[in-house]
Amino acid sequence: MAETIKDTDSSKAPMSTDQENEPVITFFKAYPYALPAMSADRTALGTIPAQAYQYCEAMTTASAFGWYAFPASDLQLWFDGVDIYIAHGDEWQRLSSEQLPDMDHWWNPHCPRHLHNMAPPFVTSLGIPGYVQVWSGLLVSTRKNWSILVRPIANVQKSKQLFCFEGIVETDQFGPAPLFINLKLQVTNTIIEIPAQDPLFQIQPIHRDCYARESLIASDHRSIAMDQPGAAGMNDIHWDGFQKTIRHADPAKDDHSAGQYATTTRKRARKAVTSLL
């Protein structure tokens, strides 16, 4: 199974034909019962208010960026403040590292002999009280110079019982890699249920240039004033750009229509898609 996003950065040197045809991100199902990664949703799983869905393009774009990932199986955990326990039917066992049911029966016939019995664990205690790692049952790799951002689901507060950590993984060099999420259990002496049918975290492809140090230091900090010594300030072009982002207090003088930003960005997106066809 593979999902593809075209790389439209024309400022880079042309890629080879093989690179152009390679998906930006590829998911491999390593456990037969794992749910595939699902394209993220502009409604943030139906939680965004109708008015925000209609007019707040910034929110819906962020919500729809990437894929949702699920835990590979249903999971029940218990944290007593020191140790983590996992449910096996009606019994609870102290968690160290737990494999998925019959994982080796699926893994071993499909992998090289030297990797037999080396399937990723489903859930692992990370050695810090309350911290666990949960696997999706998927492996993931990316095109050259692309990485994945593993993060909580955008614009959705899943549960106060869990905190999802974010991480950037260079899955072009280190992949296909197990697609997992690190969690902090935030409640004690309570059953924490993590259903396999509910998205647990989000994956977003990002180009390495976006977080390279050179990009992060290539910023400019200015005052709006033009008359300060050594300050570039904001010129007429900047002020014209700012005016496009605000509404006038007097409706009679306001030339902005409701949803103008959403309309403009959607037209740009449609034009970009058309140019790729």
Q: Which of 26-40, 243-257, 262-276 bottoms out in mean pLDDT, i.e. has the lowest? A: 262-276
- 97-125 pLDDT tens trace: 999 999 989 999 999 999 999 999 999 99
Angle (CA) 141-75-71 rounded to 5° is 20
- 198-239 pLDDT tens trace: 999 999 999 999 998 888 876 677 777 776 665 678 888 888
CATH code 2.70.40.10 region(s) in the chain: 2-215
Q: So what's the pLDDT on residue 263?
A: 65
Q: What is the 3-state secondary structure (H, E, C) of the chain?
A: CEECCCCCCCCCCCCCHHHHHCCCEEEEECCCCCCCCEECCCCCCCCCCHHHHHHCHHHHHHHCCCEEECCCCCEEEEECCCCEEEEECCEEEECCEECCCCHHHHHHHHCCHHHCCCCCCCEEECCCCCEEEEEEEEEEEECCCEEEEEECCCCCCCCCCEEECCEEECCCCCCCEEEEEEEEECCCCCEEEECCCCCCEEEEEEEHHHHCHHHHHCCCCCCCCCCCCCCCCCCHHHHHHHHCCCCCCCHHHCCCCCCHHHHHHHHHHHHHHHHHC
| Mean pLDDT calculated for residue range 79-85 | 97
Q: 2-215 adopts what CATH topology? A: Deoxyuridine 5'-Triphosphate Nucleotidohydrolase; Chain A (2.70.40)
Angle (CA) 240-241-247 rounded to 5° is 85
Mean pLDDT of the chain: 85
- The top-scoring range by mean pLDDT among 8-12, 165-169, 211-215, 241-245 is 165-169
| Mean pLDDT calculated for residue range 48-65 | 89
Statement: residue 3 has pLDDT above 50: no
Q: Which of 39-48, 85-94, 174-183, 267-276 bottoms out in mean pLDDT, i.e. has the lowest? A: 267-276
Which has the higher per-residue pLDDT, 20 or 223? 223
Statement: residue 135 has pLDDT above 90: yes
Q: So what's the pLDDT on residue 158?
A: 81
Q: So what's the pLDDT on residue 57?
A: 87
Which has the higher per-residue pLDDT, 274 or 78? 78
Q: So what's the pLDDT on residue 6?
A: 42
Amino acid occupying residue 65: F
d(CA 197, CA 195): 5
* 71 band by pLDDT with thresholds 50, 70 and 90: very high
| % pLDDT > 90, the chain | 61
Give Cα separations from 207 to 139, 152, 190, 210 (angstroms).
19, 19, 40, 6
Q: Which of 100-114, 167-181, 186-200, 242-256 bottoms out in mean pLDDT, i.e. has the lowest? A: 242-256
